[in-house]
Amino acid sequence: MHTRCPATVEKCMMIFQTIYRNLISRSNNDAESPSLDRLLDQFDRELENFTTLVQPAAESLPRTPFDSDLPREKMSLANMSLRQRLSALPVMLPLVRQMQRSARMYDGRFQPMRTTVTPAFLREIEDMAYTAGAKDLKYIKVPSQAIFKHKGIPHEYALVYMVEMDQETMSTSLSFAAFKEVAQGYKKLAVIGNKLSGRMRAQGFAAYPGTALGGLTDYCYLAEAAGLGAIGYHGLLITPEAGARVRINTIYTNITNLPLEFDNEHLWVRDFCAMCRKCIRECPPQAIFDQPRPRGDGGWQCIDHSRCRDTFQQNFGCAICLAVCPFSQAGYQKVQSRFKGNPRAPQFHIPLTPVSQAIPQTISLSLPHT
């Protein structure tokens, strides 16, 4: 049996503490405590390198904060055991490095030479994404209301892709194992985004990977609008491939002839949500509203973020709503085959036009990107 060298342990702990200082949310009881929101704002400051950006709509909402009022002693990630910290290090360190690499692409120096793409090159990009671990990928012209307030994006077109998280591991939520699986998902997203962006730039196209954790746009909103799935009552994307067990990222680009889709065959899942409500019943802090509520910008709100945020901080990111969702457990196809419809379900649709021009009863269901 091998024993770990004390010097190696000490070095690993120093690295982990550096990551912790950058990634764990701030307690308002200590103004100098780490803050994920501050870290994301640092990444976002790279936008200052651009003279023009695609701007959010007047109705756009800010990115949901991660920071909490909880004292440090109640934060699960602040009180991990030595074994847990050493276990998380091989995931967290590359995640931070990949996110930093993504941010450096926003230095404002790249000058694109092309704006139209061939089908062959798109197939190459898709093959690269799937080989690197993407579960699905689609394209979208980003609606301005999906851009967070006070942010902006370099170009109005985007690739939207997702990765799957392991079903058995996620079923253990609330747990350290589930937290590490989520972090692994974010790492995959960052690696894929950087790989694809590098290849696209090598061919003369603008490519800016989204921040795997956080971001400038509402990723669930974009994923539904692109046709990857539909947002459930828990605010997470539900997909045919992995139910709600997905994480989502983007690559913003100047390619103008992407094959966009305008029909979404997955919107029936909200009819099922209106009947199921399992996530509402199982949510530990009862943070999921029984019925969506108007939020003042033409959209609707399903989550009490203040309730969700504290449980999120105390329980390794929680993810109970994801774990108990029938689409995550039984699977999309099985649920669909057994569902007989719900004609009385409220009809909610992601608006693809500015909110002020959208049809009545549009909805953008959002949750902190966990």
Q: Apex CA 331: angle with CA 251 and CA 305, to 5°?
A: 60
The number of CA neighbours under 13 Å toward the Cβ of 12 is 17
pLDDT of 94 above 50:
yes
What is the reported pLDDT for 295? 61
Phi and psi, residue 169, nearest 5°: -65, -45
| pLDDT tens figures, 33-63 | 557 788 888 889 999 999 999 999 998 889 9
292: burial class by Cβ within 10 Å (0-12, 13-18, 19+)?
A: buried
What is the reported pLDDT for 68? 80
| pLDDT tens figures, 321-365 | 999 999 999 999 999 999 999 999 888 777 665 444 333 333 334
> Which amino acid makes up residue 116?
T
Mean pLDDT in the chain? 85
Contact 218, 258 (CB under 8 A): no
| pLDDT tens figures, 226-246 | 999 999 999 899 999 899 999
> Minimal CA–CA distance to 367: which of 295, 298, 303, 306?
303
